[in-house]
Structure 1
């Protein structure tokens, strides 16, 4: 491996990247992540990756994709590998990634290994300068999902299919590397696997032991360790492996040059025969016991060992170079930052303990799709990565700045980092805590800044530097930790921000008018001086659209003067600002969704106050984030439209709703989480955030009633002129976006809001 030497002459710890490139087959359908992320059409993504300073990238030249290309099957890879070479970005070429090959083969096809080896040779001959390969990503995990759990093709649900798929993939790895090395003797195998550990109650120790042996199987096979003394040798024979097949691996091993660990927050598991403690979906078992299988982080009292525990295990078992080859966490942005930092620090700590750890890989550079359902169908669930691809082009998130700092050994600070990740906080526990008798291996003290780490070639930082995180969070936060200041304690949106900040471990203060009157410069200055926030989130304001026609001065003070005062105060102190606007800044003249650059032409006093606020805030503080949104519904608000409609219809009362006003409703938890992510990313200017679908108010009521099977015959669909409105409303105020469609579809939002609705959805927790 290239790179500057670390302490003792060891290669420096490198930062790698990776593109989520799964092409998995479900039935006759192939799910292609490269197509879904848009990377298949964007060559310039490679410049974005190189600019971050990473040294290598796990990159797909996939058998399934090439098989569809005919005579030009390598045209796509030609352009991209050539550009990577020009950029000095070392590719680690993957040939199969959770796939089963072209339609003519499968993981249980006796010809799978030979077919992949032929493709591998063709790749090596075409790109003789490529030196690092992963012929098959995570063969054990893929064999489990395809041969034992039935998720992916060929959808087996038995031990025999599992073993056949595993042996087929491991043979394919060995055959492919032989073929590649006949062309390029310098080629190195970077073999990846998820090595999550299973913990258990004493009664299920036998099952945990079996799964502990099983998690090493792909690497043990390639290392030639599955002989007659291997603990799983009898079980492999029972499940259809022949002695000759296993002996072939012993006689001709294919030891990886680098062992790649793909470790996720869900990798470690816990099994418990007390099934009544757990939800029905977690229950299963074997021929001896019924038991629940859940994420260890949600139940193990000692906590999880994380990347450090797995690194040390792999090093002790094999004594070969190790890399973390996937670091990704779906969830809020601050948790993604914390997870990457913890992984990087774990690698440094393992090196300090003597392990030969070569790299940490920032995975899913462009995010990933539908891994919440194991990519068995396309639901549109997206998890952002270093870049967010939900706009007109990839948008760098806060992770991009962190990756750049780690790669270059530069200092990186962010106010959200001192708090621990959710997997280190008490609220991680969803079930009664169980001690497993194995202390969690954690990255320890001393705490240092990123700039003090070893972070790549030329970083010159000391080995083993650890990023410390302090306990705490919640409303007050810890000493010296600047909070978020939330204005608008009496409103539903302000309360939602406070609640979700607490859930996300973001220190915050929720202030009412008595603590900070946003239109009074002296009051604002006192509050900022006292709390010293890193950002202000303004949810305060005048919200009564019809009353604003009668009291425009008060509306102007709260909605236009107040945000401008906040903007000036934040500019003076170098504090970030988020403030909210409305779809009512538009006149409704067009019939396609309004985007951020469309001119504001409000019809009402309320709309004019919001348009004025937008103009003043962005002029005074260009770094401010101004969020336009519409038609809130969600928990913690008994007065929202959906809850009011359902209560009336449930009680058999008529409920009137306009059938000629078109809006894009917004689920409050989605809005809050997206706004917080944008704030952490450092975004500015006007953004539109709604749950996409344009509907009339009457249609929203009808959809909600249908979702929970409430009789909607008392729903009165009427023109807006029949309702007691004073302020004029735009007939069409649907919001679209050119910057990014960040919120899920309305159908998804309603399903989460109304899950288990029992007549008062407004009091329910969000899903």
Structure 2
């Protein structure tokens, strides 16, 4: 390492709200409106409970003064910055976040820098106590998306528009900080940038080398490093930038007080001229060679450079204080936790070795919307963050507990952290593996083997649900043991005690049970023993061992006399023995162990068994065989993979009590068969719709058993589930 910096101060925990206001054509996409933080002041109190020291917080030009500074509305920022001050949280104020300013300007407007600086001065004058600023977030990334790739306004697709946008942003940062410091001389610049890395085949090494130099452009401009000898000087001149424009940055340097590194798993890329190995949408070129541009994690045999290497490269290049200013992963809950832990450990390790690393920022406190399309569409694709917004009020996820631990100096210790993230596991490779010459690719795996971790115990080895849990735990890297009734008899306390003592699981999933609804009418004692007594005994044992418990109930606890979806607080009134067994199970389990998670669900279908309604219907209809289904029983079909994934997330979050999980949608059984057949391109000529009473059921069933929720709407829509079911089956 080039030099050593020693600080006795611990690594700080910062946080941030995804607050992008970007422009696509004439439309503005505003994350604060989408996530509701625009109208929820109380969010700030929730953030304070995490123990964070600072927050990247928006006082955005487009929101405060869309119609000019003389018409600015400061009320929102006034109220929130005052609350942050009272809560003792230091705001790092952002002025433009992936945006391009009000409608009368753009990133390539020659006056953009001066216009932003006027706004910056007004902010500093109004809030003279604010000490940290990010005038423009990720200028290089924003310039690429707005000037090179055409995603955002002004939708340029050429080198000159990219260069003009980048220089305009960097000049705006320098002038804004100058204006701010005339009000507050001690104001600090926290300059963020998404730092990636590019790898390639030998043939494309020249392109990778160029991109690996270009990634530093915004920081090099601010630090006054772009001289005639700099590798990027010639490129910028080639783009059409004059020497005079570049010399402005040499004469007016504005080095960051803290360099903020944002890094995502998709930030590292691999370039390969062998187009036949990759889908067409990855193909592109530079005018000289055609090549695929793919996520390096999907092809590099050694894995990624990772956050520690990239932070070290930044420290060695600039010798300026560092912070990780965004940590977020759109994935399952345990992978979000693993990514945060890996970045935290990388920052801590580098700090311990002498680099001046100040903080790690937990990003997307409230999650984010439509980043899977790079904010080019507004379709409502939501990624949860520290809080999940799909509840009536923001709900803490397991990430919140981890943030609280880190902020308090405690080491997170959830057993799922023992397994490396998916980006380290072999299943990450979806293209032919290629060596990227990356010697640090295994950094996240050191001292972390998943085999010795406490497993998740799954009861129900022969059932659809138990096997689905095992299959998806395998995919998610969750250590598990799939248990048969011979392995553990939940009606036998001694059997339970032996297994819990031997396995020491962190949680138990009871996916077993008596499921033959009509047979239960003939043998109620057996149904009640398996469905109610066994789970109650299991709950008592889990309570004694302080082991989390997840068990399942049914929509058949209701009598169907309503016409709106049932929620968790609605009165139960089962019509049959099976429903009675589930009502009794809920009561006994929650009495014995109130921390249990009890999930009511409904009408399974999935891609991995041959005996669910949708699979049988499609098989019979495709063969031209008669298929009979009820036309008057309305249900909420549940796609098993969605159920398992969501259940696991809730279990990891430490949720308890009654929850309803079913895919959004209400449909009669016969209409479900029609819907699936239509999507599958199968004829419904042999489908016969009949009243339920003609099907000869022994056990009475409710005419309406649709599940809604007053706790959270976590499951995707039925239409999406059927499409994914068909894709998985094919």
TM range (shorter): over 0.9
Q: Structure 2: how far apart are the matches of 1:51 and 1:134?
A: 24
Match of 1:460 in 2: none
Q: Structure 1: how far apart are the matches of 2:343 and 2:517?
A: 49
Match of 1:29 among 27, 30, 40: 27
- Residue 356 of structure 1 and its aligned partner are, at CA, apart by 1.0
**1:149-207 C-alpha deviation (Å, 9 max, x unpaired):** 12222222222221222122112211211221122111111110011000011011011
Q: Structure 2: how far apart are the matches of 1:609 and 1:353?
A: 60
Count how many residue pairs are aligned between Structure 1 and Structure 2.
725
Note if 1:569 corresponds to 2:541. Answer: yes
> What does residue range 45-64 of structure 1 map to in structure 2 within 5 Å?
45-64=43-62
Q: Structure 1: how far apart are the matches of 2:372 and 2:522?
A: 49
Match of 1:535 among 489, 504, 507: 507
Q: Structure 1: how far apart are the matches of 2:161 and 2:629?
A: 56
CA contact (8 A) 1:349 1:443 kept: no
**1:387-424 C-alpha deviation (Å, 9 max, x unpaired):** 11110111111111111111111343212121111222
Match of 2:630 in 1: 658
Which one is further off, 161-170 or 390-399? 161-170
Distance 1:156 1:655, change over 3 A: farther
Q: Structure 1: how far apart are the matches of 2:55 and 2:648?
A: 30
SS in 1 for 2:561: coil
Match of 1:116 in 2: 116
**1:647-702 C-alpha deviation (Å, 9 max, x unpaired):** 22222223233222222222111111111111111111011111112222223222
Q: Structure 1: how far apart are the matches of 2:576 and 2:119?
A: 65
Match of 1:371 in 2: 371
- Residue 291 of structure 1 and its aligned partner are, at CA, apart by 1.4
Q: Structure 2: how far apart are the matches of 1:122 and 1:714?
A: 72
Distance 1:707 1:154, change over 3 A: farther
Q: Structure 1: how far apart are the matches of 2:406 and 2:54?
A: 14
Match of 1:584 in 2: 556
> What does residue range 347-746 of structure 1 map to in structure 2 within 5 Å?
347-440=347-440, 469-472=447-450, 477-478=451-452, 481-746=453-718
> What does residue range 164-179 of structure 1 map to in structure 2 within 5 Å?
164-179=164-179
Distance 1:121 1:420, change over 3 A: same
Distance 1:72 1:702, change over 3 A: farther
Q: Structure 2: how far apart are the matches of 1:169 and 1:717?
A: 64
CA contact (8 A) 1:420 1:469 kept: no
CA contact (8 A) 2:282 2:292 kept: yes
Q: Structure 2: how far apart are the matches of 1:28 and 1:663?
A: 42
Q: What RMSD, in angstroms, separates the aligned Cα atoms of the two structures?
A: 1.9
Structure 2's unaligned 5+ residue stretches are none
- Residue 592 of structure 1 and its aligned partner are, at CA, apart by 1.5
Match of 2:297 in 1: 297
- Residue 706 of structure 1 and its aligned partner are, at CA, apart by 2.3
Q: Structure 2: how far apart are the matches of 1:582 and 1:49?
A: 36
Which one is further off, 569-578 or 355-364? 569-578
Distance 1:444 1:20, change over 3 A: closer
Which one is further off, 229-238 or 303-312? 229-238
Match of 1:754 in 2: 726
Match of 2:271 in 1: 271
- Residue 469 of structure 1 and its aligned partner are, at CA, apart by 4.4
- Residue 281 of structure 1 and its aligned partner are, at CA, apart by 2.3
Q: Structure 1: how far apart are the matches of 2:282 and 2:516?
A: 46
- Residue 260 of structure 1 and its aligned partner are, at CA, apart by 0.4
**1:89-117 C-alpha deviation (Å, 9 max, x unpaired):** 00000111111212222222223222222
Note if 1:183 corresponds to 2:183. Answer: yes
CA contact (8 A) 1:309 1:442 kept: no
> What does residue range 207-222 of structure 1 map to in structure 2 within 5 Å?
207-222=207-222
- Residue 367 of structure 1 and its aligned partner are, at CA, apart by 1.1
- Residue 309 of structure 1 and its aligned partner are, at CA, apart by 0.7
**1:262-311 C-alpha deviation (Å, 9 max, x unpaired):** 01111111111112222222222221222111111121122112110111
SS in 2 for 1:41: coil
- Residue 71 of structure 1 and its aligned partner are, at CA, apart by 4.7
- Residue 16 of structure 1 and its aligned partner are, at CA, apart by 0.5
Structure 1's unaligned 5+ residue stretches are 1-5, 446-467
- Residue 242 of structure 1 and its aligned partner are, at CA, apart by 2.0
- Residue 365 of structure 1 and its aligned partner are, at CA, apart by 0.9
- Residue 616 of structure 1 and its aligned partner are, at CA, apart by 0.6
TM-score normalised by the chain length of structure 1: 0.91
Distance 1:727 1:27, change over 3 A: farther
Distance 1:643 1:123, change over 3 A: same
Q: Structure 2: how far apart are the matches of 1:107 and 1:60?
A: 19
Q: Structure 2: how far apart are the matches of 1:699 and 1:243?
A: 69
Q: Structure 1: how far apart are the matches of 2:117 and 2:670?
A: 60
> What does residue range 122-161 of structure 1 map to in structure 2 within 5 Å?
122-161=122-161
CA contact (8 A) 1:489 1:495 kept: yes
Which one is further off, 606-615 or 234-243? 234-243
TM-score normalised by the chain length of structure 2: 0.96
